[in-house]
Amino acid sequence: MRSDDDGLYFGMDMKIFQKKVYNFLERPSRGWICFVYHFLVFFVVLSCLVIGVICTISEYEEKITQKFIYVEIVLLIFFASEYVIRVWSAGCRAKFKGLTGRIKFMKTPISMIDVFVVLASSVVIGFHISGRISSANPGNYVDR
């Protein structure tokens, strides 16, 4: 039976879990499950890019755009959650420990790209939901 040092064991288990999560998300060459996850994420992003391009074709614009916005919302929630988990799990590395370390992690090029994509997607979805953008057509962003 454990005494009052149960918190120590939990903390150690959490650090191991944090390291495993970090390796899974940041080092995709570690195991086939990790490879499958990153491949599926890549495939989903590529599929959304193709659907986004198809949405700009006037024949398909009305049919696809309204349904595609729900897919974009789900993916936005997924990628924002993944980013938060990546920032949390980066604390297992010595150079990313603490608040200043996490900020240092957020300043890495890949993390900055993730933040910009999540923020840009949020703005576009917000404009679409508010009715200011009627489709994914880039011409809607330009004053004529």
Q: What is the pLDDT of residues 21-37, one digit of tens each?
A: 888 888 877 778 888 89
Asked if residue 20 belongs to a domain, the reply is yes
Asked if residue 129 belongs to a domain, the reply is yes
> Tokens 């957020």 sit at which residue?
106
pLDDT cut 70: percent of the chain above it: 81
Asked if residue 58 belongs to a domain, the reply is yes
Q: Which residues contact 140 (CB under 8 A, 6 or more apart)?
A: 133, 134
Asked if residue 1 belongs to a domain, the reply is no
pLDDT at residue 133, as a whole number: 57
Structural domain including 121 reads: 6-141
Query: Are residues 18 and 11 in contact, defined by beta-carbon separation less than 8 angstroms?
Result: no
Q: What's the total number of domains in the chain?
A: 1
3-class DSSP assignment, residue 120: helix
Q: What is the pLDDT of residues 51-88, one digit of tens each?
A: 878 877 777 777 777 778 888 888 889 999 999 999 99
Q: How would residue 144 be classed by pLDDT, with cut points 50, 70 and 90?
A: very low
DSSP-derived letter for residue 5 is T
Query: Are residues 108 and 96 in contact, defined by beta-carbon separation less than 8 angstroms?
Result: no
Rounded Cα distance between 91 and 18, Å, is 8
Asked if residue 63 belongs to a domain, the reply is yes
Asked if residue 119 belongs to a domain, the reply is yes
